[in-house]
A = this chain, B = another copy of it.
């Protein structure tokens, strides 16, 4: 396997074997895609996050020793402050520790090591791995390489892999945190209308959220421009639960949740077509700017989410509006990522196996 992948070129393999359905038991499994989760699974993560939040927001506790001596290796191949930081805080508040590896390549790869060999090396030093990759399926590849080595008894244990964002594909831990934020507001997920606006083609947080929202029975409205349409696979799999419209104002007027994501143009490449696309998309974003005026048309009970960092698309004038939940959304990532780490190592704060 070592020769199949060099650097960040991810081979086009079948990753189904490492993307098992959670089906009520996350212990020992990878979290790679929201497609692994059914309705009950999503509520399971949310229940756990509520229980954990009560503990960490109690100043006499601030954490819980669920995972002593557990080492999380967080391998961030794309820059990240927020996700990396929340994973570090999450494992520390579970009594474990983090080893954060940032940068495009490790020193081992600089020494000429294959990507597969690097993943095996990381797995020998960790109890659980979280990773962000520039390429689609990077975490899936890691999970497959590790599972194979474990099945051949080269590794004494399989090491679960958590996808912290892979290329233009998915960002499931973000989506679970987002759904937790929604649940805290409405005390349910079902039958809510969520409007998602932004770069649907490439922004991975949108993809995972669309799958998750549809799984729990939300009505999903994607406000789309021609430059960055919802990919066919999402249109196909969401079916009736997805509506597509070009009209943001019409869509948001009766929404329960407005979700706007950043224009991820720092990932724009150097090719001419890429730059042309980027220019067009910037124009789209100008028409989507969410400011204090614009959100007044929403119900006072509606909420507005944004998976920070924000730029111009979310104007600071909104900060005082009671509909804003974007800061809480960041905070909610801590208990949710704690819930994810715990559950995928077979633990839960209630003391029983999940």
Tell me if A25 is interfacial: C-beta within 8 Å of chain B: no
Which residues on B sit within 8 Å (CB–CB) of A311? 111-113
In the complex, A195 has a CB within 8 A of chain B: no
**Chain B positions within 8 Å of A334 at CB level:** 124-125
Q: Residue A328 at the B interface, CB < 8 A?
A: yes
Instruction: Classify the interface of chain A: helix, strand, loop or mixed.
Output: loop
Distance from A73 Cβ to chain B, minimum over Cβ atoms (Å): 7
Of B95, B97, B310, the contact of A69 (CB 8 Å cutoff): B95
Contact residues of A between 240 and 279, Cβ < 8 Å to B: 262, 266
- The answer to the question of A80 belonging to the interface, with a C-beta cut-off of 8 Å to chain B, is yes
Nearest Cβ on chain B to A141's Cβ, whole angstroms: 15
A327 in contact (CB, < 8 A): yes
Asked if A157 is at the interface (CB within 8 A of a chain B CB), the reply is yes
Contact present for B262 and A330 (CB under 8 Å): no
Q: How far is the CA of A187 from the CA of B97 in the complex (A)?
A: 33
Q: Are A99 and B89 in contact (CB under 8 A)?
A: yes
Cβ contacts under 8 Å, A262 to chain B: 111
Q: Mark A64-79, 1 if CB is under 8 A from B, else 0.
A: 1100111101000001
A107→B114 CA distance, assembly (Å) = 27
Identify which of A1, A106, A118, A327 gathers the most chain B CB atoms within 10 Å of its CB: A327
Asked if A191 is an interface residue, CB under 8 A from chain B, the answer is no
Selected from B97, B113, B125, B319, the residue in CB contact (under 8 A) with A309 is B113
> Is the CB of A93 closer than 8 A to any CB of chain B?
yes
In the complex, which residues 286-338 of chain A have their Cβ closer than 8 Å to any Cβ of chain B? 308-311, 316, 319-320, 324, 327-328, 330-331, 333-334
**Chain B residues, CB < 8 A from A96:** 92
A to B CB contacts below 8 Å, 23 in the list: A2-B316, A56-B69, A64-B69, A69-B92, A71-B88, A71-B89, A81-B101, A81-B107, A81-B121, A85-B121, A88-B97, A88-B99, A92-B96, A92-B99, A113-B309, A117-B308, A120-B327, A121-B309, A124-B334, A149-B327, A152-B320, A154-B328, A155-B327
* Interface, chain A (partner B; CB < 8 A): 1-3, 56-57, 59, 61-65, 68-71, 73, 79-82, 85-86, 88-89, 92-93, 95-97, 99, 101, 106-108, 110-114, 117-118, 120-122, 124-127, 149, 152, 154-157, 262, 266, 308-311, 316, 319-320, 324, 327-328, 330-331, 333-334
